[in-house]
Amino acid sequence: MSKVQPSKKFNESLPSRAQVVIVGGGVIGCSIAYHLTKLGWQDVVLVERKQLTSGTTWHAAGLVVTPSGDELSVEMSTYTRELMKTLEAETGQSTGFKAIGYLQLACTQEWLEERRRMAVAARRLGINYQEISPAEVKKMWPLAETSDILAGFYTPEDGRANPVDFTMALAKGARMGGAKIFEEIEVVGINKENGRVTGVVTDKGEIEAEIVVNSAGLWGRQLGNLAGVNIPLQAAEHYYLLTEPIEGVHADVPIIEDFGRYSYFREEVGGLLVGFFEPVAAPWGVDGIPKDFAFGEINPDWDRMMPYVEIAMERIPVLKDAGIHKFFCGPESFTPDGGPLMGETPELKNFYVAAGLNFLGILQGGGVGKIMAQWIVDGYCPVDSLHIDIARCFPFQGTQKYLTDRTVETLGLQYQLIYPNFANETARDVRKTAIHEQLAQAGAFFTEGMGWEIPDWYAPAGVEAKVEKYTWGRQNWFKYLAAEHKACREDVILMDVTSMSKFLVQGRDAEKVLNNICANNVAVPVGKVVYTQWLNERGGMVADLTVTRLAEDKYFIVSAGDFYTHDLMWLKKHIPADAHAMVTDVTSGYTLLNIQGPKSRDLLSKLTSADISNETFPYMSARDIDVNYACVQCFRVTYEGELGYELYVPTEFSAHVYESVVEAGQNLGLRHAGFQALNSLRIEKAYLEYGHDMDNMDTPLEAGLSFAVKFDKPGGFIGRDALLRHKESGPLKYRMVQFLLEDPEPLLYGNEVIYRDGVIVGYLQTGAYGFTLGGAMGMGFVEHEDGATKEFINGGSYEIDITGVRFPARASLRPMYDPKGLKIRV
Ligand SMILES: Cc1cc2nc3c(=O)[nH]c(=O)nc-3n(C[C@H](O)[C@H](O)[C@H](O)COP(=O)(O)OP(=O)(O)OC[C@H]3O[C@@H](n4cnc5c(N)ncnc54)[C@H](O)[C@@H]3O)c2cc1C
């Protein structure tokens, strides 16, 4: 937290070209430079507007702790922690890391259950995450009030570091590896040509570059604007209080996190540093970050923060009598979903970003730099990219109103208990489908995703659509969900799934281009729907979608709403410049109504003159049909495991088609159903959800999707050779398996640990209740170094660990519901 002096020694003459220019000399920029040199790239130039660390890094509290639960976060944090230990020997510059331990407090039953769930996941990931008693907490922290504590969760290996020293060690290491670092150089423009970055314009001259990296922290959005690129991050105030020395506080007391009091505590020069994650935060610099802000502070808003200071003091009562040395407020950047923004920007080739660290920049900085360097060198992400890739963002998320409104919530969420069906409360009602009001009338409870208001479940007539209490158990809507699920299995349901992404690819070369991108063969007759994955060069899945041939030269692509930006970018990126194939985004052009269930054909027959019999309109085919007065595209597909149809309705016909379907369904037991039902139905049928069950690190082979890979199709496809090598390299080390708990009571949400014959073999990616099969179900990869063969998987007995209690489970490589797929082909 000390300000650094200008390091003139860094400043040599600015080169006119470099392979990579990194903009921003905070912890992230320096870490990327360091890691690029470790991969052998020496022609690396880092430019910093003022002095290294002068943005956010200099005033960080230096917590180096391991967030539990999420695999990638744990990987980035543990890597950073270990790097902090070795950098001094390598560079001669200390990082100030000290393993003083990290203690989280659970003071309510809800937090206790949440932490115990996390503990199971954390231990699986190798974190030494120990549950300790209130008496042990008291022993570690005699000054803490412990009467309300139910348990502590302690990680002895975690600790603190000096953020400035760590950054300087990274910068020194980078320079030792050949990188050049320049201070007092501001980037004022980004040069580009034909959709590709070509260099930067600085206040001291231009630098031509193959690759430019935006690690400008709070300024990341402004720098993105210079390049015409959307970097949706927003600065917000973050506070800590520093006290005078306090008797009994010593340098080795562990860091405490007290979620219920929105605060964290650690020693600082014999006194305490008390930091805050207040539930309602204050965005800062909404009109742009001041140009000259360096080693800057924000005037604290005492009135707003005082209530939080007071409740924090109750945890360490001596604080009430301690002298306050400083109430510090500094800005940090936050993103709409709380994840960092990393990777190549969708709008501009070779323009990378690593910004929006959401308070985790120091403790994950090493890992972020390592991943970014590998990403830049290889051209694809070396880890599960779903929660870090900038390509998950949408253009509307870069609007000032959206960012300001959402940021009020994101900082506070760091210390809030997030239940599985949590939905953001800020920046709502952004995207509504054309029949939103009708669905609300029908009882929809809306959740939020990608800005869309998405029906989650429906309350029956006369009942308010409201979550009474978030819990890990059965919530008030569980019975409504059960009814929706049953209606799909026995009668018919109607879902509005308009939030799916929809693209047209048209032109003479459409088939050729798509066949190169898709692992399945799309050279099919007109009217055929093809389920396929898109792979990267390594054979990892980057998308999971359907491609439907509407005409010789026209395809319709449907993928999950979450991957809109990514999939559109991937498509455009892989269409050669000289190919005759045009991509059109038609997401907003269609309302997507999904009619599923054994009575769906009966329902549709009442509305159409088209022959929709199984013989003329079989499973996985598409037709233009009439629905009363409307002409719609109808696909006979299912994600629920039943006979069903998707109606792509031109938006202005939405209300008419919706009302027609509702009326026709009256005597057929039609129910509205939401996304919770979609999830429970698809898990019973073991249909996978990209981004939840599988990601870019998995191939179709592990996921059990080999049936959708056509190795022998003419011309091959992206990732084919790598996937073939993988296939021929011996038995798979892990495979997707479906699980059903034998006890109908417990619920599963994902992240629970899988035991086979008493040994941990994996964890659940997702979970939901299988109402037809009568128990909680989950999808998870089972790992076995010597081969996750059919014999291995079928030959064991399984248990699933929920909060430390193991429940017997059935495991299956084939869907437990309708394994032969008979219901979908009737
Ligand atoms: C009060 C507080 C406490 C914190 N405590 C912790 C903690 O305990 N642990 C933790 O892990 N994280 C903590 N953080 C978060 C952490 O400090 C940040 O995540 C991290 O410093 C971000 O690093 P960065 O490199 O992305 O950004 P910065 O450090 O802001 O670096 C960006 C740099 O880019 C430069 N720049 C901007 N525009 C240009 C341009 N056009 N040309 C050239 N240079 C430019 C800026 O001058 C700046 O130096 C804390 C944050 C705050 C506010």
pLDDT in tens, 29-64: 999 999 999 999 999 999 999 999 999 999 999 999
Average pLDDT over residues 588-615: 98
Q: What is the DSSP string of 95-114?
A: ---B---EEEEE-SHHHHHH
pLDDT band at 428 (very low <50, low <70, confident <90, very high): very high
CA atoms of 230 and 346, how far apart (whole Å): 9
Longest dimension (CA), the chain: 85
- Whose tokens are 């798979």? That residue is 732
Residue 136 CB coordination number (10 Å): 16
Residue 30 CA: nearest ligand 1 atom is: 25
Instruction: Give the position, in ligand 1's atom list, of the atom nearest the Cα of 331.
Output: 53
Question: What's the gap in Å between 661 CA and the centre of ligand 1?
Answer: 54
Backbone φ, ψ for residue 35 (5° rounding): -75, -30
Which atom of ligand 1 is found nearest the CA of 52? 49
Rounded Cα–Cα distance for residues 443 and 409 (Å): 27
Using most ligand atoms within 8 A of CB, pick from 332, 352, 353, 390 the residue to mutate for ligand 1. 332
Phi/psi at 241 (5° precision): -115, 140
> Is residue 361 within 8 Å of 56, Cβ to Cβ?
yes
Question: Predicted confidence band at 384 (pLDDT cuts at 50, 70, 90)?
Answer: very high
* Ligand 1 pocket, mutate which of 219, 240, 328 (most atoms under 8 A from CB): 219
Q: pLDDT digits over 711-763, tens only?
A: 999 999 999 999 999 999 999 999 999 999 999 999 999 999 999 999 999 99
Cβ–Cβ < 8 Å for 33, 174: yes
- Which pLDDT tens digit goes with each residue over 765-807? 999 999 999 999 999 999 999 999 999 999 999 999 999 999 9
* Number of C-beta neighbours around residue 373 at 10 A: 25
Q: What is the pLDDT of residue 6?
A: 43
Q: What is the pLDDT of residues 230-279, one digit of tens each?
A: 999 999 999 999 999 999 999 999 999 999 999 999 999 999 999 999 99
> What does the alpha-carbon distance between residue 103 and residue 107 come to, in Å, rounded to a whole number?
13
Average pLDDT over residues 402-423: 93
Which tokens hold the place of 660? Answer: 């027609």
Mean pLDDT across the chain:
96
- Torsion sign over Cα 68, 361, 366, 564: positive
CA of 585 to the centre of ligand 1 (A): 36
Q: Which residue(s) pair with 258 in the sheet?
A: 105, 263
What's this model's pTM, rounded to 2 decimal places?
Answer: 0.96
Residue 781 and residue 753 in contact, taking contact as beta carbons nearer than 8 Å: no
Q: What single letter denotes the amino acid at residue 312? A: A
pLDDT in tens, 314-325: 999 999 999 999
Mean pLDDT along residues 503-509: 98
Res. 356: pLDDT tops 50: yes
Percent of the chain with pLDDT over 70: 98
Task: Give the integer Cα–Cα distance in Å for 73 and 315.
Answer: 28
Q: How far apart are CA 424 and CA 413, in angstroms?
A: 9
Mutate to test the pocket of ligand 1, among 11, 23, 57 (most ligand atoms within 8 A of CB): 57
Residue pointed to by tokens 């005078």: 244
Helix (H, G, I), strand (E, B) or coil at 759: strand
With a Cβ cut-off of 6 Å, ligand 1 is lined by 23-29, 47-50, 54-57, 59-63, 186-187, 215-219, 223, 238, 240, 330-332, 355, 357, 359-363
Residue type, 274: V
Contact status, residue 685 vs residue 818, Cβ threshold 8 Å? yes
Ligand 1 centroid, distance to 94 Cα (angstroms): 19
For 602-635, the pLDDT digits (tens) are 999 999 999 999 999 999 999 999 999 999 999 9
CB of 361 within 8 A of CB of 27? yes
> What do you get for the CA distance between the two ends of the chain, in Å?
68
Ligand 1 midpoint to CA 29 (Å): 9
Residue 240 CA: nearest ligand 1 atom is 1
Q: Which atom of ligand 1 is nearest to the CA of 185?
A: 43
> For 309-327, b where at least 16 C-beta lie within 10 A, e where not — what string?
beebbebbebbeebeebeb
Is the confidence at residue 9, as pLDDT, over 60? Answer: no
Q: How far apart are CA 160 and CA 27, in angstroms?
A: 15
3-state DSSP assignment of residue 351? strand
Residue among 706, 699, 683 nearest 764 (CA): 683
Task: Band the pLDDT of 467: cuts 50, 70, 90.
Answer: very high
The pLDDT value recorded for residue 69 is: 67
Question: Which residue among 34, 56, 328 has the greatest number of ligand 1 atoms within 8 angstroms of its CB, and so is best to mutate?
Answer: 56
Per-residue confidence band for 496, with pLDDT thresholds at 50, 70 and 90: very high
What's the CA gap between 353 and 29, in Å, rounded?
10
For 76-107, what is each residue's pLDDT tens digit? 999 999 999 999 999 999 999 999 999 999 99
- Ligand 1 centroid, distance to 292 Cα (angstroms): 15
CA of 56 to the centre of ligand 1 (A): 3
pLDDT 10s digits, 468-492 = 999 999 999 999 999 999 999 999 9
